[in-house]
Structure 1
Amino acid sequence: MAPGFHVGVILQITLSVTIIDNTLRFMGARAMPATPLITYETVASAAEALREEGKTPSVRLVKRYLGGGSPNSILKHLSDWKAGRPLIRVSEIDIDDTVIDGIRQQMARVAEGAAKGAEERAAGVEEDLRTVSEALHEAEQRIQALETELAQAREATQTAEREGQKIGEMAEHDARKAAQALEVAHSRLQEERERGDTARQDLAQAQVRLEQLPALQDEVKTLRAALAQEQQARQQAEKEKAVADTRAADVIETRDSLKTQAESLRSDLDTLKEEARIMAKESKKEISELRQALNETQQARYKLESELARLSK
């Protein structure tokens, strides 16, 4: 360990003692505010407890000992502790000047002992560096997974739009065909009705003529045969109309069903679009947060590497 490192540790501890001295003089025995979860005192206490248990303090072990906390905050305080910063707890006590002088002398001795243990604490920096690297790798994988999910959602939205458009076009085509078939059937029925009326008129005229002119019986028979044919044709046309009406009803029912399906698909498409939009918004937000955490982790990694390089000198 370089002599300059020991001197820096002693100066840091002396500065801490001076700050405590001034705090005690101005605040007296005033109660201290509530200590947050992640502070230098809590991290240093956890590190010393782990060391007493025979374990090498690390970010992961300290976080588990404290029951949570930000790895970056823990890393900062743990690095200070490993660099030799002493753990000093100020209770609600009344300390006079003679005791403070004794504390200064004692802290000087503690500084020398802390400098000797700094080399042992530096060994944990490599493990902290590995922990930060693992967190960095996990963040990068999460970003890639979110980008993949976003691409899949966009592809599903485009597919649903194409399917909905295709079903709508099919329904309109079937409806047009049904309307055309129904119009043709009505036209044929009207023509057959007109032919039947004409045949009945001809038959009536022939009967009158038959009564007046018996010689026209053959013509009457011919007209009756024609009337029978026209009646058969009309019946056939009515049957075809009934079939056409049934088919038209089926086509209309199918068209309505297809329209309902198309509306349902459009509703599902709108829902999918909204979900994709929300997912994209949340994914962008989470990606931004992960990238921010990634930057913080990289900064912590650079700090650890710098600290490791400094300790290795």
Structure 2
Amino acid sequence: MIDPDSIQSHYTIMDMARQELTYEEVAAAASRLQGEGRQVTIDTVRDALGSGTPTAIHRHLAAWRAEHAAPPAPPQAQLPEALLADLARWAQQFAEEAGSPAREALARHESDMAALREAGEALEAERDDLQRDLDDAGRARDEALATIAEREEEIERLNAELRNARQVAMDALVGKAKDQLAIEGKDAQLADLRQQLERNLAATATQSDARLAAEMELVGAATARDSLANEVRDLRAQIAALRKK
């Protein structure tokens, strides 16, 4: 019967008798095998080295793999085509159902924007019409102001002529009265007549001013001008008649 202790002792002696492999030797052999496209295993490394115990080669080969061996590529997840087709149909349906409210809201928004644009265009057109009316009113106002200014100048001129005619008529009447009273030698009558003439002229002037204002308000500057012209003509006729006496 073989003694196990003797077998272990035999292998121990054989391992000690052999030269111990280094990491560099195992690494060089593994790299060479990998470069040649061969599998790197304990047996292929041991064959390449021609010696070495599996234990020693395994220890160094594990260290080399941890340092140099590329990590295995993760397995790619492959889904069945039927499942992919079902997922695609579900995704399309979900997108349509989820996007329906957004599309409706977008349609409402576009409709509101169109209505707002139409309302804005209508307001702009109305604004342009109002601006044209305002411009026309401004021009009409300017023309009216210019006309009023011209009529005021005409009225002022006619008033000046009327005052001059009144003064001439008054001077003529006073002169005629003076001549008549001087001839008759009645100074008291001359004073009374002068006062009477002044009162008459004042009343006539007041009535004429009131009539002139009323006529100007009723028929305008043109009618007032004609009235003033007629009054001046009458006063001139009176003056001429007084001078003939």
Per the TM superposition, whether the score is higher than 0.5 is no
Class of the TM-score when normalised by the shorter of the 2 chains: 0.3 to 0.5
- Tell me the TM-score normalised to structure 1 length: 0.35
TM score, norm. by length of structure 2: 0.43
**Larger RCO (alpha carbons 8 Å, 6+ apart):** 1
